[in-house]
A = this chain, B = another copy of it.
């Protein structure tokens, strides 16, 4: 199984994506928020690139969420903090989400065979789905304002470590994957401290949102794996029919 890591959304090329499972990782905070919203029973999360597109999208009873410059968008019901999605009122609702880096990365990955949302919250569950899908993998770190983001890289490294534990197939990594795996294997017990000093972590601290960093750096809190379907709609992965049949045999 080939596992490549790309360091930020601008570096990804179409050939990196074709035929692969792409895991989009935006720990602070888009993919952590999507996993949380679906774990709290949102019907789906639609990833949208721009604010006007999010406003125009006509879905009954939808909740509009997201951020620009880490702050809630004017006129939207919620921002991009996972805490805003931990409420029974989102159950059954569609979330229309647009963020600076995360939703852009999801949309850029949409031509892949499968697109999943990864975060520290669901590392084990993501690796388990990847092993089930048995395809070459691209771990796409969304990054932070066009730069590599430490927390996304460490999360990619944690997913690689989990793939080594779970995969029955040999794993071939690119050089960024090798070094991130090396970094992540020694980081598990100090994730909140490490991520606190990243560019994104420091910025959220200045905005008084340190609790977001603490929440988003919890390993394997949830077993929900958002998968992108038609219309960039993210819903919990339930397996393809072929894989389900395979498992029954």
Where the two chains meet, the residues of A that have a C-beta atom closer than 8 Å to any C-beta of B are 7, 144, 147-150, 153-154, 174-176, 178-180, 182-183, 185-187, 194, 197-200
Chain B: CB-nearest residue to A180: B179
A144 cross-chain contacts in B, Cβ below 8 A = 175
A174 cross-chain contacts in B, Cβ below 8 A = 147, 199
What are 14 A-B contacts defined by CB distance under 8 Å?
A7-B7, A7-B148, A147-B176, A148-B175, A148-B179, A150-B176, A154-B179, A174-B199, A175-B199, A179-B179, A179-B180, A180-B183, A182-B194, A186-B186
The reply to whether B175 and A179 contact each other, CB–CB distance below 8 Å, is no
Q: How far is the CB of A4 from chain B (nearest CB, A)?
A: 10
A187 cross-chain contacts in B, Cβ below 8 A = 182
Q: Which of A148, A180, A200 has the most CB of B within 10 A?
A: A148
**Extra inter-chain contacts (11) besides given A178-B197, A182-B187, CB under 8 Å:** A148-B175, A153-B175, A153-B176, A153-B179, A154-B179, A175-B199, A178-B194, A178-B198, A179-B183, A182-B183, A182-B194
A147 cross-chain contacts in B, Cβ below 8 A = 174-176
Q: How far is the CB of A28 from chain B (nearest CB, A)?
A: 11
Chain B: CB-nearest residue to A182: B183
The 4 closest A-B pairs by CB, nearest first: A183-B183, A150-B175, A182-B183, A186-B186
The reply to whether A176 and B194 contact each other, CB–CB distance below 8 Å, is no
A186 cross-chain contacts in B, Cβ below 8 A = 182, 185-186
Cα of A186 to Cα of B178 in the assembled complex, Å: 13
Q: Which of A175, A186, A197, A199 has the most CB of B within 10 A?
A: A175
Chain B: CB-nearest residue to A5: B148
Q: How far is the CB of A223 from chain B (nearest CB, A)?
A: 26
Q: Which of A144, A150, A174, A182 has the most CB of B within 10 A?
A: A182
Q: How far is the CB of A199 from chain B (nearest CB, A)?
A: 5
Cα of A185 to Cα of B194 in the assembled complex, Å: 14
Q: Which of A7, A174, A179, A197 has the most CB of B within 10 A?
A: A179
Chain B: CB-nearest residue to A143: B175
Cα of A198 to Cα of B200 in the assembled complex, Å: 29
